[in-house]
A and B are shown apart, each in its own frame.
Chain A
Amino acid sequence: MALAKRIIPCLDVDHGRVVKGVNFVDIRDAGDPVEVARRYNEQGADELTFLDITASSDDRDTMVHVVEQVAGEVFIPLTVGGGVRRLDDIRTLLNAGADKVSINTAAIHNPDFVKAAADRFGNQCIVVAIDAKSVAPNRWEIFTHGGRRPTGIDALAWAEQMTAFGAGEILLTSMDRDGTRNGFDLALTRTISEAVSVPVIASGGVGELDHLAAGILHGKADAVLAASIFHFGEYTIAQAKQCLADHGIEVRW
């Protein structure tokens, strides 16, 4: 099998600036998404994910400009999420240069939105982001508002439904692990990844490189997403790939 497992750095963008700190030794402006994207690309990132955390929806145009600028000089797949609620939002982001858009809350409010989006733009560009939290042994539910608000929706059933509705990929975040640096929720990741036919990106909890390998080997993830271990300059993408390769995982050099 020659398909490489993917490493995806995630950039949180607020009002057009990367937040949560990005630290590269020779970067001029750590808040500039274009410069950060360029640097991750040079390090060998397989894709980039941008999460627009801008609170006000009237500032969405800023993200569109960021995507346009990045797409003009970084020629790897770009996923953009955050506040994607209407088909027009998707069209605008794809035209700006995004390859995939990530839908989260809007799918929960209206699951048919995912169907409509996949029908209109193709499954390949529709990522459904699932924020899941453990509610019982081997049972997880979907939470919104940064993991604070329960929805009562079972995560496994939801992942299956979203795949049936046309999601081309699942971005799965453990809200129990997010920010803890204790590693992915491997049971959650494995449960979802083995249940659905589409690729699953593991997210939430990476604190060291071995966590990435565990997400693939034990969580059965097709790709791994991380933010802080790359942003703070602790590790480069190349180091992460070396770690995966040392575990016998196929990577792209």
Chain B
Amino acid sequence: MATIAVIDYGMGNLHSVARALNHVAPRAQVTVTQDPQVILGADRVVFPGQGAMRDCMSELQRHDLIDVISTAARTRPFLGLCLGPQALLTHSEENGGVAGLNILPGRSLWFGHHLRSAALANQHLKIPHMGWNRVHQTRPHPLWTSIAQDSRFYFVHSYYLLPDEPTLTAGLTDYGFEFTSVMAKDNVFAVQFHPEKSAAAGLQLLANFSCWHP
């Protein structure tokens, strides 16, 4: 039986992710776990997360998961969700600056710099960026299968991804300015939104992940 490990490091509600995976891949064994052996024994790994980056990194350290995640991200289909993609980058400016896992080169930056700039201040765009926004697929990818171009997904975040290499971007979203909402490299796919809360399009993406063979 195919196994999917959802990494649980005490950051946010992972049951929704597991529930959605069970829904789209009823024959897979979905485990919410912080056990390194279970994670590295799984066929596929999902790295979710909610909350603040400093807590995220300290919880990963406390659970001895830093190396485990780096290994998993090199060796099997790996899906980052929400805070997960931010943690994959080199650095986040949240909490006064936090070093990330540096699996993908780049930074995550606060929306406020852009949204409160003179050009956008009159639009009074709210932070967090919360709700259903479009994702423009910038290149073909197996995880985009059967998902219409510019489909809407559900977002909740105050920091956005800025990968060093434009080639990492697989999806763009417009919130006053265009930012990278999806990154992809080899066996890693990382989305800023919540596919588990994004109705049909989100479920399709999770279904695609559950049968992805990079």
Contact = CB atoms under 8 A, between A and B. Distances in A.
B95 to A, nearest CB: 13
B137 to A, nearest CB: 14
Contact of B127 (A2, A77, A99, A197): A197
Contact of B130 (A1, A75, A76, A169): A169
Given A1-B176, A76-B199, A122-B50, A97 B19 contact: yes
Interface stretch (B9-17, B34-42, B96-104): B9-17
A252 B132 CA distance: 7
Interface string A239-252: 00000000000001
A223 B173 CA distance: 20
Nearest to A123: B128
Contacts of A6: 131-132
A38 B124 CA distance: 34
Given A2-B174, A124-B156, A99 B126 contact: no
Contact of B128 (A1, A2, A5, A124): A124
Contact of A4 (B15, B131, B194, B197): B131
Contacts of B154: 76-77
A75 B196 CA distance: 6
Contact of B129 (A3, A77, A97, A252): A3
B50 A71 contact: no
Chain A interface main SS type: loop
A75 B124 contact: no
Contacts of A41: 199
Nearest to A5: B131
A229 B14 CA distance: 34
Contacts of B124: 194, 220
A122 B12 contact: yes
Contacts of B13: 94-95, 99, 125
A219 interface: no
A222 B126 contact: yes
A3 B23 contact: no
Nearest to B173: A2
A97 B15 contact: yes
B19 A71 contact: yes
B114 interface: no
Given A3-B133, A76-B198, A168-B128, 7 more contacts: A3-B155, A4-B152, A72-B23, A95-B13, A95-B15, A124-B51, A124-B130
Contacts of B194: 77
Counting from the closest, the 4 A-B pairs by CB-CB distance are A122-B51, A252-B132, A2-B174, A124-B156
B68 to A, nearest CB: 23
A189 B202 CA distance: 32
B203 A75 contact: yes
Interface size grouping (class) on chain A: 20 to 34
Contacts of A234: none
12 contacts: A2-B134, A3-B132, A3-B175, A6-B132, A46-B131, A77-B154, A77-B194, A95-B15, A99-B197, A169-B130, A197-B127, A198-B126
B198 A75 contact: yes
Interface in B176-198: 176, 194, 196-198
Given A1-B176, A71-B19, A75-B197, A199 B126 contact: yes
A76 B199 CA distance: 6
Contacts of B197: 75-77, 99
A124 B128 CA distance: 8
Interface string B118-149: 00000111111111111000000000000000
B52 interface: yes
B109 interface: no
B20 interface: yes
A61 to B, nearest CB: 17
Nearest to A251: B132
Interface in B54-113: none
A73 interface: yes
A199 B129 CA distance: 8
Question: Which of A122, A125, A220 has the most chain B CB within a 10 Å cutoff?
Answer: A122
Contacts of B198: 75-76
